[in-house]
Amino acid sequence: MPDHDNTALLSRQTKRRRVDIGVKRTVGTASAFFAKARATFLGAMNPQGAEQDVEYAVVQHADGEKSNVLRKLLKRANSYEDAMMPFPGATIISQLLKNNMNKNGGTEPSFQASGLSSTGSEVQQEDVCSNSSRDSPPECLSPFGRPALGHFDVDRFCDEHLRAKRARVENIIRGMSHSPSVALRGQDGEREGAPRPSSPRDSYRENKRKQRLPQQQQQSFQQLVSARKEQKREERRQLKQQLEDMQKQLRQLQEKFYQIYDSSDSDIEGDGDLSEGSLRSGSLEARARGSVGRSDTELCELDPGHFLDRARALLREQELAENKPEREGGPRERAEHPAALQPPEGKHLAETLKQELNTAVSQVVDTVVKVFAAKPARQPPQVFAPLQMPQARFAVNGDHHDFHTANQRLQCFGDVILPTTLDTFGSVPMPAAAAAAAADQTEALPLVVRKNSSDQPAPGPPAGGHHQPLHQSPLSATAGFTASTFRHPFPLPLMAYPFQSPLGAPAGSFSGKDRASPESLDLTRETAGLRTKMSSHHLSHHPCSPAHPPGAAEGLSLSLIKSECGDLQDMSEISPYSGSAMQEGLSPNHLKKAKLMFFYTRYPSSNMLKTYFSDVKFNRCITSQLIKWFSNFREFYYIQMEKYARQAINDGAASSEELSITRDCELYRALNMHYNKANDFEVPERFLEVAQITLREFFNAIIAGKDVDPSWKKAIYKVICKLDSEVPEIFKSPNCLQELLHE
DNA sequence: TTTTGTCCTG
DNA sequence: CAGGACAAAA
């Protein structure tokens, strides 16, 4: 027991506060920011990858891992990108890359400046293509930036064939990633002046039309086509090679980036915008320079601020490399290179990338919100079905894979791990009584994520709406998402309800009267409080059958109760199967039992606890939790004692002899309310004696003025701890509550 | 070093 | 009631 004077206490608190804010928070903001930025970036490129990415990032963040966050994150990103590489046009980067290549075929130098906007340049591409399809075929490029070889009709045919193909591809891409901001940019205005006979839409139709070529023509050029195919294969190989190079370079770049990140943690928060831009352009650079195949060593000397410059330079090089061998590159192409050097383009690059990200993110958000807002009622009536089949969440959204992954990604932004989309539960019917408990429930969950009280439009049908707005991940709101769809996935009343009755009545059989009893409400609260840090993993394995036998109500909470207790050794003890009789966690009934035991023993030893909670599989965490319970009980007990002792003194009591504790005195009622709220347990007489002794101790100590001594309670504690009496044997029974309360 | 207990906060 | 800091005991 610590002896502190007030000064010491004060300094202790101050110190503690400092520690509290210190490491974790700063690290949290910085690393979380970058994790998020990175994830956003990757998310736009690959929803699935990003989803896991963010998840990972947030978990790391929670662990307080500092610099390793980004490192690991980036490494992961690598592997995801590897996986997705074969799909050009599916990512922002590749679009950007394509556009940059494409601009080699641009007709005007000014094109370059705007060439980085994928939305804008897509239109431009089209225009270029349609232009050339009428006038100058050689100017039209293949999707991969290779110009068509062009002489005579052969080339014309091949060119048109390619164009047609490209039109299809573009069509697909446009369908996949239709951007809301298709507005033409300023530079496009210049191009409007150029000779262009048809509108974009016209040229698009034209492309489609040209897919169908006269039969005769096809036959006559078949050989040439096969030759072209061969060529394309070669092209594909080259591209593959390039992609591999790019991946390699991207990796190096990433390494470089987190080196920088490690060395300048403190600066990052301030200029996050710049760094974010650098990151993106860095990735772009890595890809863009793939075909150049240059040495990478120089990268090591870059700092984030130079990435933009490097990106510009490399894009330029790439243009050169691509243009030279295949085209009789007119002076026009070289003429545009000086323009690439101008500083404003770096800003263009960054801004365009930012725009891309914003667009992608807002698209995803819109889509997700739209999807979930229009969600129909479709859940099976079985109450626990979603819990039994965690995979159901994939089935639910199986038709909208994109939306699903996007949703998960956003969920991960919002919280540590929210693996289940809420709509899995959105329309789950539940006992009305349990629903009624929801209001009470939400108030008593200090540990479960729950903060946002803002009104969100109920996404589900009104029928199932009464239990909806239970939980919302706090970050989903802070991250700026209109996250009506990202609430806590657990149907908390459903989880809590089965434990409410110590008698273990089935959930469905509760009457309204039962529910209204203070005891059941209290137990609900306790249940919720106990259910800390559950993960979906535990839920998934939970054997919550609706037909669960009443007597096993406690067993239900088995894997729900905090299994977070650190050690791997502890975790390994937690079996996903509840076949054994031992519980891995403490249930609300255990708490109730502990409270009743407090009437007999105020200072139980850990061995005693093990004896009396024999149905619990003890580990360090369980033990300390039980001890903590009793510590809390004592705290309340002593506070009450002191309070009433002082009150008696104020009331003019002269001697401790005047003080007595009866079953109808105020102090007793307070204690009984605390430890035996339902009043369904007969408090032993011995407890009254002990309480009276305690009260008198306090009274005497205060009268004697000992309370000026900061450790004056210590003596009282010593006395009280000797007054423990034997706990009845019945408490050793796991079912003691039923037996006790039935009497 | 671990365990146990108190104090404080949320 | 839980978590954390802290201290004393084991």
Per-residue pLDDT reduced to its tens digit, A587-646: 888 898 899 999 999 999 988 888 898 888 888 888 999 999 999 999 999 999 998 998
- Say how far apart CA A383 and CA A168 lie, in whole Å: 47
Residue A304 pLDDT exceeds 90: no
Q: How far is the CA of A16 from the C1' of B9 (A)?
A: 11
**Which residue places its CA closest to the C1' of nucleotide C9?**
A1
Q: What percent of chain A has pLDDT over 90?
A: 5
Contact, A274 vs A305, CB < 8 A?
yes
Q: How far is the CA of A307 from the C1' of C4 (A)?
A: 44
Strand B contact at CB of residue A11, distance < 7 A:
no
Per-residue pLDDT reduced to its tens digit, A46-87: 333 333 333 333 333 333 333 333 333 333 333 333 333 333
Per-residue pLDDT reduced to its tens digit, A215-240: 333 344 355 445 566 676 777 777 67
Strand C contact at CB of residue A615, distance < 7 A:
no
Q: How far is the CA of A13 from the C1' of B9 (A)?
A: 10
Q: What is the mean pLDDT of residues A473-478?
A: 31
For domain A588-740, the CATH superfamily is Homeo-prospero domain (1.10.10.500)
Between residues A459 and A638, the one the model is more confident about: A638
Q: What is the mean pLDDT of residues A526-548?
A: 33
A383 burial level (CB within 10 Å; 0-12, 13-18, 19+): buried
pLDDT value, residue A654: 84
- Say how far apart CA A330 and CA A336 lie, in whole Å: 11
**Which residue places its CA closest to the C1' of nucleotide B4?**
A627
The identity of residue A732, as a single letter, is K
Strand B contact at CB of residue A569, distance < 7 A:
no
Q: Give the H/E segment covering residue A126.
A: helix A118-134
Task: Fill in the DSSP letter of residue A616.
Answer: B
Give percent helix, percent strand, percent coil of chain A, each to the nearest 5: 65, 0, 30
Strand C contact at CB of residue A529, distance < 7 A:
yes
Q: How far is CA A625 from CA A265, A562, A629, A630, in A?
A: 37, 10, 6, 9
Q: How far is the CA of A587 from the C1' of C1 (A)?
A: 13
Residue A19 pLDDT exceeds 70: no
Q: How far is the CA of A673 from the C1' of C9 (A)?
A: 33
Q: How far is the CA of A417 from the C1' of C8 (A)?
A: 40
Q: How far is the CA of A602 from the C1' of B8 (A)?
A: 21
Q: Enumerate the domain spans of chain A.
A: 588-740
Nucleotides of B under 7 A from a protein CB: 3-10
Residue A13 pLDDT exceeds 50: no
Strand B contact at CB of residue A13, distance < 7 A:
yes
Strand B contact at CB of residue A1, distance < 7 A:
yes
Using the CA of A595, give the nucleotide whose C1' is nearest. Answer: C1
Q: How far is the CA of A620 from the C1' of B1 (A)?
A: 15
Residue A333's Cβ-side half-sphere holds a number of Cα atoms within 13 Å equal to 22
Q: How far is the CA of A631 from the C1' of C10 (A)?
A: 19
Listed residue (A4, A36, A726, A101) closest to A413, CA to CA: A36
Q: How far is the CA of A711 from the C1' of B2 (A)?
A: 25
Nucleic strand B contacts from chain A, 589-618, CB < 7 Å: 603, 605-606
> What beta strand segments (E) does A553-698 contain?
none
**Which residue places its CA closest to the C1' of nucleotide B3?**
A624
Per-residue pLDDT reduced to its tens digit, A168-198: 544 544 444 433 333 333 333 323 333 333 3
- Say how far apart CA A570 and CA A564 lie, in whole Å: 9
- Say how far apart CA A35 and CA A54 lie, in whole Å: 7
**Taken in order A320, A323, A328, A329, is the CA torsion positive or negative?**
negative
Q: What are residue A155's DSSP bridge partners?
A: none
Q: How far is the CA of A317 from the C1' of B2 (A)?
A: 65
Using the CA of A629, give the nucleotide whose C1' is nearest. Answer: C1
Strand C contact at CB of residue A2, distance < 7 A:
yes
Contact, A250 vs A287, CB < 8 A?
yes
- Say how far apart CA A476 and CA A472 lie, in whole Å: 7
- pTM as predicted: 0.35
Residue A331's Cβ-side half-sphere holds a number of Cα atoms within 13 Å equal to 0
Using the CA of A18, give the nucleotide whose C1' is nearest. Answer: C5
Strand C contact at CB of residue A526, distance < 7 A:
yes
Q: How far is the CA of A697 from the C1' of B10 (A)?
A: 31
**Which residue places its CA closest to the C1' of nucleotide B9?**
A13
A517 burial level (CB within 10 Å; 0-12, 13-18, 19+): middle
Within 10 Å of residue A651's Cβ, how many Cβ atoms?
A: 9
- Say how far apart CA A348 and CA A533 lie, in whole Å: 46
Strand B contact at CB of residue A568, distance < 7 A:
no
Contact, A641 vs A694, CB < 8 A?
yes
Task: Fill in the DSSP letter of residue A683.
Answer: P
Strand B contact at CB of residue A627, distance < 7 A:
yes
Listed residue (A641, A643, A658, A663) closest to A719, CA to CA: A641
Per-residue pLDDT reduced to its tens digit, A542-598: 333 333 333 333 333 333 333 444 433 344 333 333 334 677 788 888 898 899 999
Nucleic strand C contacts from chain A, 550-579, CB < 7 Å: 562, 564
- Alpha helices by DSSP H, listed for A457-560, are 474-478, 492-496, 512-516, 518-530, 536-540, 553-556
Contact partners, residue A460, CB within 8 Å, separation at least 6: A375, A377, A423, A426, A427, A468
Nucleic strand C contacts from chain A, 628-657, CB < 7 Å: 628-629, 632-633, 636
- Say how far apart CA A160 and CA A415 lie, in whole Å: 51
Helix/strand/coil for A147: strand
Task: Fill in the DSSP letter of residue A346.
Answer: H
- Say how far apart CA A170 and CA A537 lie, in whole Å: 42
Contact, A460 vs A377, CB < 8 A?
yes
Nucleotides of C under 7 A from a protein CB: 1-8
Strand C contact at CB of residue A7, distance < 7 A:
no
Q: How far is the CA of A627 from the C1' of B5 (A)?
A: 9
- Say how far apart CA A403 and CA A47 lie, in whole Å: 9
Q: What is the mean pLDDT of residues A648-669?
A: 88
Return mean pLDDT, chain A: 48
- Say how far apart CA A150 and CA A148 lie, in whole Å: 6
pLDDT value, residue A161: 52
Contact partners, residue A122, CB within 8 Å, separation at least 6: A95, A99, A170, A173, A174
**Which residue places its CA closest to the C1' of nucleotide B10?**
A446
Q: Tokens 């409400």 appear where?
A: A521
Q: What are residue A616's DSSP bridge partners?
A: A583
Residue A479 pLDDT exceeds 70: no
Rounded to 5 degrees, what angle do the CA atoms A385, A389, A391 make? Answer: 135
Q: What is the mean pLDDT of residues A33-40?
A: 31
Helix/strand/coil for A656: helix
Helix/strand/coil for A606: helix
Between residues A178 and A313, the one the model is more confident about: A313
Using the CA of A8, give the nucleotide whose C1' is nearest. Answer: C6
Strand B contact at CB of residue A444, distance < 7 A:
no
Q: What is the mean pLDDT of residues A250-269?
A: 54
Per-residue pLDDT reduced to its tens digit, A370-410: 544 443 333 322 222 222 222 222 222 323 333 333 333 33
pLDDT value, residue A602: 93
Strand B contact at CB of residue A636, distance < 7 A:
no
Q: How far is the CA of A606 from the C1' of C10 (A)?
A: 14
Using the CA of A588, give the nucleotide whose C1' is nearest. Answer: C1
